[in-house]
Amino acid sequence: MVAGGRLSLRRVPCLSGCKFPGNIALGASAKTKIRLNQLEPADADDLVVLAERYAASLTGEVPENEWPDCLKGRLAAVIRPRL
């Protein structure tokens, strides 16, 4: 758990044949899921910042201008919830 217990982290294997290592996904029930790639251990603190903003968003949509600079351009996928 991080960020005061609001976020939980889970390590899972990539089942999609990921082309680029260092993938992470942010997801929650009824929210848009965001997947990023080409991440490195040095990005961890900025990922926590983005995860906190994601958790605070009602929809999971975090405008890219609110992302930490080092994560911009690393968006791999946006998966919107089914209605």
pLDDT tens for 54-63 read: 999 999 999 9
Number of domains in the chain: 1
pTM of the model as a whole = 0.82
pLDDT above 90 as % of the chain: 46
Is residue 27 scored above 60 in pLDDT? yes
Domain assignment present for residue 20? The answer is no
- Token pair listed for 11: 């390590």
Q: According to the model, what pLDDT value does residue 5 have? A: 58
Given 3-state DSSP classes, what are the helix, strand and coil percentages for the chain, each rounded to the nearest 5? 30, 15, 55
Domain assignment present for residue 79? The answer is yes
Domain assignment present for residue 54? The answer is yes
Q: Which domain holds residue 78?
A: 1-8+34-83
60: helix, strand or coil: coil
pLDDT above 70 as % of the chain: 75
For residues 37-49, give the mean pLDDT.
90
Domain assignment present for residue 47? The answer is yes
Domain assignment present for residue 14? The answer is no
Give the model's confidence band at 11: pLDDT under 50 very low, under 70 low, under 90 confident, else very high: low
Measured between alpha carbons, how far is 31 from 39 in angstroms, rounded to an integer?
A: 22
Domain assignment present for residue 27? The answer is no
Domain assignment present for residue 1? The answer is yes
Q: Which residues pair with 24 in a beta bridge?
A: 36
